[in-house]
Chains A and B, each alone.
Chain A
């Protein structure tokens, strides 16, 4: 087979992304996005969140449909387990953000992916949230992501792919760096 004729297709429209990068460099205001979610308490620790609208490119935007997510705590916490725990949503966010990044960077670098699987595990000492020991933080004490990647690339090229996806990842930045959070009551 003619190597030159091989087309890499990870299903990512890199040309569109590069075009957007160029356009947003020239119009930095359009690059300012706002992401939103709404969460309604259902009962106990069960809540239901929805995601629909967002702001970007200088205008209100919306997803094609409204997406809904149930969150709850497991039965070992004496809850009803109607959905994933909020901290698991954070892991989902991190893994899906890095995975999307890998597909995009691979497309841009001409690497054909066959399979990408991220396994994420985060440690947490419950003595923090239960207020047993004030020296223990509430959140994760660390997150470990392991990727299994099958692709037409060397080991080092795959490592570089994974490194670059972290460098460009919003969720990786959000979990590794502090963010100001303001919580108000209307």
Chain B
């Protein structure tokens, strides 16, 4: 299942599952992620500090004082992939969105030559699959958007975005949980808090493998929900 193993710096190993982004490849990534996480918590392998799944890759970071790249690669090669399992505790979320905060909607409409209302409709009618969570705490990467709305990232990322901003790039959609920099095209903002620091074992609302549908709300409803 892994197409290529390579180094990223002296304390990271990249497990590359192939170039395509689809739910089948992602399931392979998630399976390996679950396995490594479990092996680390059982103490079967020492020195691994982080294991970060993305669409088609798993990146393993380690403490160079305790283990080396070659040992990590030997460990990965020894895994019997046919025996790995993918636990599916899949949740279906409905998340409110206010499109009045879509600071890039006007530009997107011009670039794609599609009416703003039509862009919103397509977005509302999409059931998104969560491929991964990251970038910043609780931040989901979701797909797949209608090809009519495919866009590139902004050439220079914005220095500051409001928390809850919903952005799109190519077939993907995401939500920025905190005020942060970012390079995605912003179409709206949600009042839902995606990250709860009081819950130390599972601080993120959304997990890879869940689905999300958006529900349109007014600016007033947004303010009420946001201040709750």
Chains A and B come from one and the same complex: no
Interface residues, chain A, with chain B CB atoms under 8 Å away: none
Interface residues, chain B, with chain A CB atoms under 8 Å away: none
